[in-house]
């Protein structure tokens, strides 16, 4: 008997019998859950990484120079390091409080105003740019989300009270600089992705902040510089190199990974359970099939089929059910991805991150389940070897 | 020449220590229609199963075409069954997921002597011979009992076996269909096959070339 014969008979049976179709659906469904979970977790991870990458505060180093050299000399030297995109002196930030009540809402009002180079500033936001030539401007870029308390971390407790920064776009913030006792109005001209921020940081032009700091007579010169790094992954390298040259540095913001790890661990748990579920389905549908079809197999033996023929039938049936289930899961996967994309278009991370399809994962899943269904088929085939034809045919 | 012969066969069901067949011997020849008659529980089905090597015996010998099957392995027995023996049962045991002609094709799949291209035509030809030309593409659930039994007969004939073993093939049929099936079997025997049919129905006796009586595991000739 040829393989094609086994396949053609089995295909006929598989599509004409409800219980087979049901098994195919269950297998497809569980593979779908596993693969969807995997790609959503991947996407979320990538989104969070991108978000952190976009957030300048995670690429900001405070560097201390204890050589007491000229400011411009140090800035030049620091700028020459690889991966450094911009260096400003410590005077580049100032604390202030928002005082327009209608905007403040639930906020404690504290914001950090960072002065950075206009080019860098422009790289942070889409939309309206700072005028690269103007160095005196009262325009600022704000985070998409303001945290109620300036030291609250994302995903912790007060997520409900987060202020949507997009309401502030094109509005004027009335800022109070406590140290110098001055009020100034700033127009919010852009927003940046502020996920993970532990402080409410706004950016404005460096010269603007310098002007404010120069008004503060209490400020002591302390040889601290702010270094902006091109990529998060390069920070550690840079820190080591700086240390070699006697610069001590601190990173400004640190990513809080616990919530992501939590999501990832949920995902892994879901995946493992569904995988076990899928395996159980394969096992169960097979055992059930053998029990149900003992009489069918006995009948085949009556017709002259030998144990090897039956083993082939069982294995091919298993494989086909699994393969059809797998193909169906791929189709369902693609459909559900599109549904998710369209239905949840407004969700932040789907807007910015394409859902990642991990084909390697599919391949691994395919191989694991293939081996399992082969093994299961083999076991059932061996089991069927010893059936009592007469007893079984009457079942 | 006998196509199937049993010598001093004893079958004991160890579970309840029933001597279903008690030291029986018989020869069956081609071209003949044998009917084995007997009361319920007399061992008729057991005999059919033993003749078809579906079960093991405790004692004696079974010869098919003068070759003993006792020492054969599973593969050899399966091949013998595929080539030489067709079974018909009271229940038809058709595959409900396969159409009539596909059911008939099922035994041909393991027969290397039948080309793939011939199978379907052959199955349809068999169904036609049994008066089922309009039922070729029907599923078993769409057929009457008599029609299903005829499909089962066509399937039993698929590999053109010498011997047809039938266990109460008309047990589920009305008198009209019973006659149709008996006529088919009779014709088959006329065309050279060895038909061995067990039944407790008396009407089948009229068709038989030779009648045996089964009583408490002992096979008796119509003469004694
Ligand atoms: N698998 C079995 N295990 C134990 N005893 C069995 C088994 N099969 C049959 N028997 C016994 O063997 C004896 C013969 O059974 P068999 O089925 O051959 O009778 P039968 O002549 O075909 O009866 P019927 O006309 O009712 O079909 C009976 O007493 C039956 O109880
Ligand atoms: Mg019986």
Using CB distances shorter than 6 Å, the residues near ligand 1 are B 13, 15-16, 18, 20, 38, 40-46, 200
Tell me the chain B residues in contact with residue A299 when contact means C-beta distances shorter than 8 Å. 93, 95
CA distance A387 to A286: 16
Comparing A45 with B37, which gets the higher pLDDT? B37
Mean pLDDT of A8-21: 87
Three-state SS for chain A is CCHHHHHHHHHHHHHHCHHHHHHHHHHHHHHHHHHHHHHHHHHHHHHHHHHHHHCHHHHEEEEEECCCCCHHHHHHHHHCCCCEEEEEEHHHEEEEEECCHHHHCCCCCEEEEEEECHHHHHHHCCCCCCCCCCCCCCEEEEECEECCCCCCCCCCCCHHHCEEHHHHCCCEEEEEECCCCEEEEEEEEEEECCCCCCCCEEEEEHHHHHHHHHHCCCCCCCCEEEEEECCHHHHHHHHHHHHHCCEEEEECCCCCCHHHHHHHHHHHHHHHHHHHHHHHHHHHHHHHHHHHHHHHHHHHHHCCCCHHHHHHHHHHHHHHHHHHHHHHHHHHHHHHHHHHHHHCCCCHHHHHCCCCCCHHHHHHHHHHHHHHHHHHHHHHHHHHCCCCHHHHHCC
pLDDT of A60 > 70? The answer is yes
**pLDDT higher than 70, residue B162:** yes
The pLDDT of residue A196 is 58
A312 near B CB under 8 A: no
- For residue A97, CA distances in Å to A7, A79, A101, A176, B93 come to 75, 32, 11, 5, 87
pLDDT(A154) > 50: no
Answer whether B137 touches A (CB < 8 Å): no
Across B131-144, average pLDDT: 95
Q: What is the spatial distance between Cα B136 and Cα B103, in angstroms, rounded to a whole number?
A: 10
B43 touches chain A (CB under 8 A): no
The arrangement of strands across the sheet holding B163-167 comes to B85-88, B163-167, B194-199, B33-38, B210-215, B218-221
Do A12 and B98 count as a contact with CB atoms less than 8 A apart? yes
If one counts every other C-beta atom within 10 angstroms of the C-beta of residue A66, the result is: 9
**Which of A5, A14, A302 is best to mutate for the B interface (most B CBs within 10 A)?**
A302
In whole angstroms, what is the distance from residue A307 CA to residue A335 CA?
Answer: 42
Dist. CA B22–CA A113, nearest whole Å: 106
User: Which one of B74, B75, B109 has the shortest CB-CB distance to A9?
Assistant: B109
Rounded mean pLDDT of chain A? 79
Nearest CA-CA distance, residue A281 and chain B, Å: 22
pLDDT above 70 as % of chain B: 99
A16 to B79: CB separation less than 8 angstroms, yes or no: no
Residue in chain B nearest A16 by alpha carbon: B97
Ligand 1: centre distance to CA B10 (Å): 14
A5 in B contact zone (CB under 8 Å): yes
- Please indicate whether residue A353 or residue A164 has the higher confidence score (pLDDT): A164
Nearest atom in ligand 1 to B15's CA: 4
Confidence tier at A207 by pLDDT (50, 70, 90): confident
State residue A129's pLDDT score: 53
**How is B58-74 classified by DSSP, letter by letter?**
SEEEEEETTEE-TT--H
Q: Which run of H or E residues covers position B223?
A: none
Most confident region among A67-81, A178-192, A374-388, B124-138 by mean pLDDT? B124-138
Cα B60 to middle of ligand 1, angstroms: 19
Does residue A39 have a pLDDT over 70?
A: yes
**Closest C-alpha residue for ligand 1 atom 19:** B41
- Whether B95 and A2 lie within 8 Å, measured CB to CB: no
pLDDT at A135 over 60: no
B97–A303 C-beta distance less than 8 A: no
Per the CB < 8 Å rule, is A389 touching B106? no
pLDDT band at A156; cut points 50, 70, 90: very low
Contact A393 B55 (CB under 8 A): no
Are A307 and B155 in contact (CB < 8 Å)?
no
Q: How close does chain B come to A371, measured CA to CA in Å?
A: 27
Give the number of beta-carbon pairs within 8 Å between A and B.
70
Pairing of strands B33-38, B163-167: unpaired
Picking from A32-36, A320-324, A345-349, B86-90, which range would have the lowest pLDDT averaged per residue?
A345-349
Convert the pLDDT of each residue in B189-220 to its tens digit. Answer: 999 999 999 998 888 899 999 999 999 999 98
Over the stretch A180-196, which tens digit does the pLDDT of each residue have? 888 888 888 877 776 65
Query: How much of chain A exceeds pLDDT 70, in percent?
Result: 82
The mean per-residue pLDDT over the stretch A211-223 comes to: 78
Nearest to B180 by CA among B194, B168, B191, B170: B170
Is the model's pLDDT at B78 over the cut of 90? yes
Percent of chain A whose predicted confidence (pLDDT) is above 90:
10
CA of B151 to the centre of ligand 2 (A): 21
The phi and psi torsions of A354 (rounded to 5 degrees) equal -70, 145
CA A3 – CA A1 distance, rounded (Å): 7
**pLDDT (0 to 100) of residue A189:** 82
Q: Is the confidence at residue A54, as pLDDT, over 90?
A: no
Question: Closest ligand to B47 CA?
Answer: 1
The question of ipTM being above 0.85 is answered as: yes
DSSP class of residue B108 equals G
A153 pLDDT more than 50: no
Average the pLDDT over A215-240 and give the result: 83
According to the model, what pLDDT value does residue A347 have?
61
Q: What is the pLDDT of residue B198?
A: 93
> Which residue of chain A has the CA closest to B90?
A394
**Residue with the larger pLDDT of the pair A294 and A353:** A294
Section B180-190 average pLDDT: 94
Would you call A307 and B74 a contact, using CB atoms and an 8 Å cutoff?
Answer: yes
- Rounded CA-CA distance A232/A253 in Å is 11
From A298, A387, A390, A392, the mutation candidate for ligand 1 (largest count of ligand atoms within 8 A of CB) is A390
A213-222, A240-249, B150-159, range with the lowest pLDDT: A213-222
Contacts of A57 (CB under 8 A, 6+ apart): A197, A199, A201, A252, A253
Distances (CA, A) of B161 to A89, A178, A200, B185, B192: 100, 106, 90, 13, 10
CB A270 within 8 A of CB A37: yes
pLDDT in tens, B87-103: 999 999 999 999 999 99
Chain B closest CA to A316's CA: distance in Å? Answer: 15
Whether the predicted pLDDT of A161 surpasses 70: no
Top-confidence residue, B219 or A59: B219
């Amino acid at each position: 008997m040829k393989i094609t014969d086994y396949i053609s008979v089995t295909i006929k049976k598989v599509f004409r019998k409800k219980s087979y179709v049901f098994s195919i659906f269950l297998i497809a469904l569980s593979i779908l859950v596993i693969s969807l979970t995997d790609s959503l977790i991947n996407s979320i991870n990538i989104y969070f990484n991108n978000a952190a990458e976009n957030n300048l505060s995670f690429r900001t180093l405070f560097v201390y120079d204890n050589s007491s050299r000229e400011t411009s000399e140090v800035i030049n030297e620091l700028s020459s390091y690889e991966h450094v995109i911009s260096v400003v002196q410590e005077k580049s930030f100032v604390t202030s409080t928002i005082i327009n009540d209608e905007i403040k809402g639930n906020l404690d009002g504290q914001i950090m105003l960072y002065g950075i180079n206009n080019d860098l500033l422009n790289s942070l936001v889409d939309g309206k740019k700072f005028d690269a030539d103007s160095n005196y401007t009262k325009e600022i870029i704000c985070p998409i989300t303001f945290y109620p308390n300036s030291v609250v971390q994302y995903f912790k407790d007060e997520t409900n009270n987060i202020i949507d920064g997009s309401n502030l776009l094109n509005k004027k913030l009335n800022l109070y600089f406590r140290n110098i006792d001055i009020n100034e109005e700033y127009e919010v001209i852009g927003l940046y992705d502020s996920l993970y921020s532990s402080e409410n940081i706004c950016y404005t032009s460096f010269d603007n902040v310098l002007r404010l700091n120069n008004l503060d007579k209490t400020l002591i010169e302390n040889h601290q510089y702010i270094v902006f790094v091109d990529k998060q992954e390069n920070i550690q390298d840079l820190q080591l190199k700086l240390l070699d040259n006697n610069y001590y540095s601190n990173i400004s913001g640190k990513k809080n990974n616990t919530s992501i790890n939590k999501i990832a661990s949920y995902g892994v748990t879901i995946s493992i359970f569904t995988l076990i579920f899928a395996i159980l389905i394969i096992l169960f549908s097979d055992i059930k099939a053998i029990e149900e079809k003992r009489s069918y197999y006995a009948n085949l033996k009556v017709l002259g089929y030998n144990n090897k023929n039956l083993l082939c039938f069982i294995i091919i049936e298993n494989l086909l059910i699994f393969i059809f289930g797998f193909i169906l899961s791929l189709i369902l996967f693609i459909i559900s991805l599109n549904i998710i994309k369209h239905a949840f278009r407004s969700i932040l991370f789907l807007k910015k991150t394409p859902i990642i399809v991990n084909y390697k994962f599919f391949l691994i899943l395919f191989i694991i389940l293939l081996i399992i269904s082969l093994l299961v088929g083999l076991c059932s085939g061996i089991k069927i070897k010893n059936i009592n034809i007469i007893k079984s045919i009457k079942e | 020449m006998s196509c199937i012969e049993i010598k001093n066969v004893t079958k004991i069901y160890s579970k309840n220590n029933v001597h279903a067949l008690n030291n029986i011997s018989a020869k069956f020849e081609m071209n003949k229609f044998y009917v084995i008659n007997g009361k319920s529980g007399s061992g008729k089905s057991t005999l059919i199963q033993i003749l078809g090597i579906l079960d093991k015996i405790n004692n004696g010998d079974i010869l098919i075409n003068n070759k003993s099957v006792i020492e054969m392995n599973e593969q050899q027995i399966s091949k013998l069954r595929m080539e030489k023996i067709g079974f018909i049962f009271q229940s038809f045991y058709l595959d409900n997921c396969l159409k009539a002609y596909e059911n008939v094709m099922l035994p041909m799949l393991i027969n290397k002597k039948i080309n793939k291209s011939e199978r379907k035509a052959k199955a349809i030809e068999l169904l036609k011979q049994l008066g089922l030309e309009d039922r070729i593409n029907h599923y078993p659930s769409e057929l009457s009992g008599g029609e299903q039994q005829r499909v089962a007969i066509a399937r039993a004939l698929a590999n053109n076996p010498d011997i047809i073993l039938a266990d109460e093939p008309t047990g589920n049929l009305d008198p009209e269909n019973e006659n149709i099936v008996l006529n088919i079997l009779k014709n088959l025997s006329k065309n050279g096959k060895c038909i061995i049919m067990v039944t407790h129905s008396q009407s089948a006796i009229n068709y038989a070339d030779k009648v045996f009586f089964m009583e408490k595991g002992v096979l008796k000739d119509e003469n004694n």
